[in-house]
């Protein structure tokens, strides 16, 4: 009887907690569906620019799954490669074909090389390629490619959890309610909490960036200060989002329930997986993912050595996300006190 009574009490608790039921039954279905859409999308075809290629050789590319673009000048082809519109450029210097790889993604480099090796084979022999890299090099490891994305992801994830749980404790302990009985404004409350938490997010962002570059030896050709700026803005976005969502949670467990909805999609659209392989309509969801902008900026800085003009749009977007979430935090405090 006692076992049955305890089991019935637990069952009733679950039935009253709709969020827990959704986490238990709907979250796995959501994640599996997202994985299906991500990994069962369209095939990735290498984008290759060709310059002054003999017609007999160019004909070998017809009917293949690669996107081949014929450029009339070296300048236009190199410009497209630097802008990320091409994965490689193929041209001839004398009788030797030269391949210039964009180089920032080892998996794409390998796909281009495999495609050209199979396309340029004649009989039992193939045409030897002279291979060069715009970024990176032949020794660049896959971890060097997605390492910048992981830096942003872990900063975002841990700051989100820290902010959500800490701000929730401020509410459940009564500290926030007592604070709101004073003449302090809601905006001052939000800014005060963000400043206090922000000090630790700054330290965390600095530690992660330093450890990744100096200890783990991630490939790095850009400015470490730029990495710290992007990582700090990404952490600030996670901080404002975490405090916002904690307003709609009543326990630490409910903060965890936001992970499948907020964190997991960020990982899929951050650049850990090739967005070009997704269905075009699904790729558009990446525009509302803060982590996508932070990861793009850090990857550009660390691997391609990009400067302010290249990543400034990502900075503006992350600042915009932080401001929107901060304003929503102020509005969310209305349910605690009308000021």
- The C-alpha angle with vertex 151 and arms to 230 and 26, in degrees rounded to 5, equals 105
Q: Are residues 120 and 264 in the same domain?
A: no
Please write the tens of the pLDDT for every residue from 143-161.
888 888 888 888 888 888 8
Q: Are residues 171 and 298 in the same domain?
A: yes
pLDDT band at residue 2 using 50, 70 and 90 as cut-offs: low
Q: Are residues 167 and 249 in the same domain?
A: yes
pLDDT of residue 41: 60
What is the tally of structural domains in the chain? Answer: 2
CATH code at 63? 3.40.190
Euclidean distance between CA atoms 32 and 54, whole angstroms: 47
End position of a domain, from candidates 96, 116, 133:
133
End position of a domain, from candidates 98, 133, 168:
133
Q: Are residues 307 and 187 in the same domain?
A: yes
Please write the tens of the pLDDT for every residue from 251-284.
777 788 888 888 888 888 887 777 776 777 778 8
Q: Are residues 156 and 289 in the same domain?
A: yes
Q: Which domain holds residue 327?
A: 142-335
Q: Are residues 97 and 166 in the same domain?
A: no
Looking at the chain, the whole-number percentage of residues with pLDDT higher than 70 is 89
Residue 292 lies in a domain: yes
Tokens of 335: 């349910």
Nearest to 297 by CA among 194, 228, 202, 212: 228
The overall pTM is greater than 0.85: no
Looking at the chain, the whole-number percentage of residues with pLDDT higher than 90 is 10
Q: CA end-to-end span of the chain, whole Å?
A: 52
Q: Is the pLDDT of residue 313 over 90?
A: yes
Residue 6 lies in a domain: no
- Average the pLDDT over 303-332 and give the result: 90
Residue 2 lies in a domain: no
Nearest to 318 by CA among 144, 103, 155: 155
Q: Are residues 165 and 187 in the same domain?
A: yes
Tokens of 202: 């700054």
Please write the tens of the pLDDT for every residue from 26-53.
777 777 777 777 666 666 678 888 888 8
Q: How many C-beta atoms surround the C-beta of residue 333 within 10 A?
A: 18
Nearest to 154 by CA among 252, 240, 272, 249: 272
Q: Are residues 165 and 304 in the same domain?
A: yes
Q: Are residues 59 and 171 in the same domain?
A: no
Q: Are residues 262 and 153 in the same domain?
A: yes
SS3 137: coil
| DSSP annotation string for 20-67 | HHHHHHHHHHHHHHHHHHHHTSPPP--EEEEES--HHHHGGGTTSSSE
- Average the pLDDT over 172-191 and give the result: 75
End position of a domain, from candidates 104, 133, 162:
133
Q: Are residues 126 and 248 in the same domain?
A: no
> Mean pLDDT in the chain?
81
């Amino acid at each position: 009887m006692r076992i049955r009574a305890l089991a019935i009490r637990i069952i009733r608790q679950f039935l009253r907690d709709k969020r827990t039921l959704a986490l238990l039954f709907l979250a796995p279905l959501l994640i599996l569906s997202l994985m299906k859409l991500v990994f069962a999308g369209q095939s990735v075809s290498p984008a290759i620019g060709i310059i002054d290629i003999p017609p007999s050789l160019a004909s070998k590319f017809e009917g293949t799954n690669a996107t081949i673009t014929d450029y009339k000048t070296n300048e236009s082809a190199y410009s497209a490669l630097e802008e990320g519109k091409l994965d490689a450029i193929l041209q001839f210097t004398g009788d030797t074909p030269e391949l210039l790889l964009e180089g920032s993604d080892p998996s794409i480099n390998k796909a281009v090389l495999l495609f050209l090796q199979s396309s340029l084979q004649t009989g039992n022999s193939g045409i030897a390629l002279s291979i060069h890299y715009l970024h990176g090099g032949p020794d660049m490891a896959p971890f060097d490619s997605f390492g910048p994305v992981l830096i942003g992801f872990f900063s975002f994830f841990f700051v989100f959890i820290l902010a959500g749980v800490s701000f929730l404790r401020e509410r459940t302990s009564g500290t926030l309610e007592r604070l709101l009985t004073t003449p302090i404004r809601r905006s001052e409350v939000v800014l005060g909490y963000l400043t206090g938490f922000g000090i630790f997010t700054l330290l965390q962002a600095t530690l992660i960036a330093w450890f990744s570059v100096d200890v783990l030896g991630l490939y790095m050709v850009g400015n470490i200060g730029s990495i710290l700026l992007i990582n700090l803005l990404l952490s600030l976005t996670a901080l404002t989002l975490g405090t916002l969502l904690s307003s709609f949670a009543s326990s630490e467990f409910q903060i965890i329930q936001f992970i499948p909805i907020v964190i997991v999609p960020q990982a899929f659209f951050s650049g850990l997986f090739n967005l070009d392989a997704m269905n075009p309509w699904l790729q558009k969801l990446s525009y509302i993912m803060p982590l996508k902008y932070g990861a793009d900026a850090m990857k550009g800085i660390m691997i391609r050595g990009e400067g302010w003009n290249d990543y400034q749009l990502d900075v503006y977007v992350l600042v915009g996300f932080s401001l929107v979430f901060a304003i929503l935090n102020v509005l969310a405090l209305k349910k605690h006190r009308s000021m």
